[in-house]
Amino acid sequence: MTIDASLDAAVIGAGPAGLMAAEMIADAGLSVAVFEAMPSPARKFLMAGKSGLNITHVATPAELAAIYPDAPASLSQAVEAFGPDEIMAWMEQLDIQPVTGPTGRVFPREMKASPLLRAWLSRLTDAGARLHTRHRWTGWNQDGALTFDTPDGPRHVSSRTQVFALGGGSWSRLGSDGAWRAAFQAAGISVSPFRPSNCGLRVSWSDRMKAEFAGMPVKNVAVRFGEQASREEFVVTERGVESGAVFSLSLSVRDALEAAGQAVLYLDLLPDLSEDEIVRRLSKPRGKQSLSNHLRKTLNLSGVKRALLFEFGGLEAADSPDQMARLVKNLPVPVAGLFPIDEAISTDGGISFEALDDHFMLKDRPGQFCAGEMLDWDAPTGGYLLTACLATGRAAGLGAVRWLKTKPV
Ligand SMILES: Cc1cc2nc3c(=O)[nH]c(=O)nc-3n(C[C@H](O)[C@H](O)[C@H](O)COP(=O)(O)OP(=O)(O)OC[C@H]3O[C@@H](n4cnc5c(N)ncnc54)[C@H](O)[C@@H]3O)c2cc1C
């Protein structure tokens, strides 16, 4: 069954990128329908808000440019046109107060994504956009119409233009399963393989470490990988380490594992104490105390930090304050691999920018645009993922408007 042959624009994927594209099209007075595979929209966006929706990050243009390495001009321009200031102004228009944290991360005051999503969907409906859930896009038919699987059977949708915003390849249970790649590849569009980004790192812990410390946060620590360092905390899990510092370093760790087959993180367990001061404190007579107690009393090292130390060479350094201090300041933690891609916060890979023009339109499929995480760019967490999704969604939506207004019917 074919629906809506008179539709100006079909947006496929109701995540932040797709909804932003739909907003641009509806605001231009054009008809737009959003098609979403899941029973409800923006499930990954809602999940992102579970522990505080870090929607953007206050940054200068130069800082932003460094965040999206090797970004093509179109991505840089999109983020320049709709960056942190514009995102905060947009939130305010939705009656959502942005709050900037001490490190520049921006959150909605309510922290969750749901109030923002509710206000956004309501404004989109008022502007005339229609949402069709349980519509899984499967490709194009021989006439170029979009084909969907729905609970009522297959549907075909013809529209004058289309914006694809189908997401990356992680958290498939929320809809972002990357299955769309097959249809694009079959159409001859260049799609790079997905790789995990902002993911946990596997560490081969001893049984004791897993049993006693899985789930423990490691606070007040500095984590270094190559030239990069982070003062954020991280969490020890059964399989390795994740969150905060680990996510932000994981992009470089992933690249190093791919290039060299190995990667080692270095921890500074006491970043506010100098190595000399640690040596001085450790040189106090230990008497009959266990090494663990000595470390706890002289350095105030938490249980999980002591366990990390023992895990990676601390026992061998028991009788040498110099050696132990060096380890406390520079503890090597070998990385055994990455957590599975489906658990990653985001993925890189996807539609190659070479397949797109400056307006995010597929060069070989005029009138068809792509946006969001399905494009081949990468960024660390910190609000930069959503910033690029919203910015490219907006640019693709505006591209579709421009196309509709300039192309003869
Ligand atoms: C736990 C977690 C926390 C996060 N926290 C943050 C954060 O604080 N800050 C930040 O910047 N980023 C965060 N992210 C990342 C951010 O959520 C994503 O980068 C963002 O949602 C991607 O937006 P998108 O619109 O491109 O794709 P998605 O949000 O993935 O949306 C794509 C949509 O397309 C639909 N779809 C897929 N295939 C089809 C199909 N064949 N037919 C129809 N519909 C389809 C999907 O169901 C989905 O609704 C987090 C992610 C996770 C998992």
Ligand 1 and 35: CB distance under 6 A:
yes
The answer to whether 304 touches 241, Cβ cutoff 8 Å, is no
Ligand 1 and 388: CB distance under 6 A:
no
Q: What percent of the chain has pLDDT over 90?
A: 94
- 48-97 per-position pLDDT tens digit: 999 899 999 999 988 998 999 788 999 999 999 999 999 999 999 999 99
Ligand 1 and 107: CB distance under 6 A:
no
Residue 149 bridge partners (DSSP):
136, 154
Give the Å distance between the CA of 56 and the centre of ligand 1.
Answer: 15
Ligand 1 and 15: CB distance under 6 A:
yes
Task: Please provide the average confidence, as pLDDT, over all residues in the chain.
Answer: 95
Ligand 1 and 281: CB distance under 6 A:
no
Place of tokens 């995480």: 373
Q: Where are the domains of the chain?
A: 2-195+347-406, 201-338
- 361-389 per-position pLDDT tens digit: 999 999 999 999 999 999 999 999 999 99
Tell me the average pLDDT across 238-265: 95
**H runs (alpha helix) in 214-290:** 244-260, 275-282
The pLDDT value given to residue 402: 97
- 163-218 per-position pLDDT tens digit: 999 999 999 999 999 999 999 999 999 999 999 999 999 999 999 999 999 999 99
pLDDT at 408 over 70: no
Tell me the average pLDDT across 17-39: 98
The pLDDT value given to residue 5: 57
Give the Å distance between the CA of 168 and the centre of ligand 1.
Answer: 7
Ligand 1 and 365: CB distance under 6 A:
no
pLDDT at 4 over 90: no
pTM: 0.94
Place of tokens 């940054």: 59
Work out which ligand 1 atom sits closest to the CA atom of 170.
53
Q: Whose CA is nearest to atom 50 of ligand 1?
A: 48
Q: Whose CA is nearest to atom 46 of ligand 1?
A: 175
The pLDDT value given to residue 124: 98
Ligand 1 and 367: CB distance under 6 A:
no
Residue 265 bridge partners (DSSP):
333
Span 2-195+347-406 CATH architecture: 3-Layer(bba) Sandwich (3.50)
